[in-house]
Amino acid sequence: MSSAGAATRPLRSAAFRWFLLGRSISMTGSFMSPVALAFGVLEITGSAVWLSAVTAAALIPMVATMLLGGGVADRYRRDTVLRLTSVGAGLTQTGVAVVLLTCQHPALLLPLSAVNGVFQGLTRPALRGILANLAVGRGLQQASSLLASAGNTARIAGPAVAGLLTASAGGGWAIAVDAVTFLLAAACFARMSLPARPPRAEDGPTMLGDLQEGWRYFRSHSWIWSVTLAFAVFNATNLGLWQILGPVIAAGTIGATGWGLVLSARGAGALLAGAALVKLTLMRRPMVPALSAMALATLPLFLLGAGAGVWWLAAASLLAGAAAEFFTVVWETVNNTHIPERLLSRVGAHDEFWSSMSSPAGQLSAPILAAAFGTTAVAVTGAAIAAAAMLLTAQVRALRRIDVNRHTG
């Protein structure tokens, strides 16, 4: 089959198959990691403050590195970037596993988490731009949906396995598995080969110039930065609180196994939605329905604060996973359709950077706010604010006009 035919039918492309396999393996371990790390830290410290510190130690360097990662991914081959960062992440997770398994002082987790965060910050912009190197046209939605389905299968299996493994053997062993998956993913990425980048002119822009070009494009398109702003609010008030208050509340109620089940249910909902989107064609103007659906993704935090049982939380997570998956496929398709390929990683890095930089504030403030106002008030209020941010952004005129059938890149 011609390269054009493979790009419109991504599974016929060997490069895409190796990428899909590598990401599937890596994501399985990565979805084990939050459960394992949360309960591993709580096991050796018994402190939500330590948990928020370790989580923020990874997140802050990740966010800080994203903009540089966007420039790197748009300047160099994205498959090479993924190979190197996967090896680095595997080595740092090995260190985290050793600390947890040998019950060392939790302060040792902070530098390891920080270095891992740097590798993740370099990885994410490359992932945002690589689909445009592997698929075109209708193949973009198919590739995005297939990748999302593989990730959601990992989202189901990872937390459930991590919950069982953590409850029976300890979080360190689940982190060790995560380390192995990064190294296996690097081996898969070594088998895929993207076309070499065109040679850069000697008088071409510097890395700083490339980053400035990405910023100018990002700030000049309200349909991009308005969604980024909405997710900055969402990540602080919903995701940040969920990641900290969730394990803390679960530790005293449904336990690690129940928490793993709740997270797996979210993956199941996303998997069902992703599988459907492989076959279905998006509506011409999908951004308003996608943002409205994201308001439903706040329901699990609301029920968590209200003291709902494990099955109600699992049902809400199932719905939230489907809603979030719909948004993810829409946003990936819209970005790859309307942003020039040479700018995808840099613009995506700004999207990731500005939307993620609020997450540490949510994580670090969660224990303080819960102590002052109670977990119920904090969780319910956070969910309401996050839902309002999505519904208000859906009213932005530029977003309402986005047409996935009209390529403007």
Residue range 370-390, pLDDT digits in tens: 888 887 888 889 899 999 999
Query: Burial of 219 by CB count in 10 Å (0-12 exposed, 13-18 middle, 19+ buried)?
Result: exposed
Q: What would the DSSP string read from start to end of 212-260?
A: HHHHHHHHT-HHHHHHHHHHHHHIIIIIHHHHHHHHHHHHHTTHHHHHH
- pLDDT category at 394 given cuts 50, 70, 90 is very high
Average pLDDT of every residue of the chain: 82
Run of H or E including 140:
helix 138-168
Block residue for tokens 């994410």: 124
- pLDDT category at 409 given cuts 50, 70, 90 is low
Asked if the model's pLDDT at residue 146 lies above 90, the reply is no
- pLDDT category at 1 given cuts 50, 70, 90 is very low
Q: What is the pLDDT of residue 65?
A: 86
Distance CA 352, CA 356 (A): 6
For the residues 387-397, what does the mean pLDDT come to? 93
Q: What is the pLDDT of residue 3?
A: 46
Asked if the model's pLDDT at residue 363 lies above 90, the reply is no
Lowest mean pLDDT among 105-109, 235-239, 253-257: 253-257
Residue range 162-198, pLDDT digits in tens: 877 777 777 788 888 889 999 999 999 988 877 666 6
- pLDDT category at 4 given cuts 50, 70, 90 is very low
For the residues 30-44, what does the mean pLDDT come to? 80
Q: What is the pLDDT of residue 236?
A: 87
For the residues 290-298, what does the mean pLDDT come to? 91
For the residues 233-252, what does the mean pLDDT come to? 80
- pLDDT category at 241 given cuts 50, 70, 90 is confident
Distance CA 164, CA 345 (A): 37
CB 387 within 8 Å of CB 295 = yes
Which residues touch 183 (CB under 8 Å, ≥6 apart)? 86, 87, 90
Asked if the model's pLDDT at residue 345 lies above 50, the reply is yes
Asked if the model's pLDDT at residue 2 lies above 60, the reply is no
Asked if the model's pLDDT at residue 199 lies above 80, the reply is no
Q: What is the pLDDT of residue 407?
A: 60
Distance CA 47, CA 54 (A): 11
Share of the chain above pLDDT 70, in %: 92
Asked if the model's pLDDT at residue 391 lies above 80, the reply is yes
Q: What is the pLDDT of residue 230?
A: 94
Pinpoint the alpha helices (H) of 235-358: 240-252, 255-279, 287-296, 299-305, 310-338, 344-356
Residue range 77-87, pLDDT digits in tens: 888 888 999 99
Q: What is the pLDDT of residue 254?
A: 75
For the residues 146-175, what does the mean pLDDT come to? 78
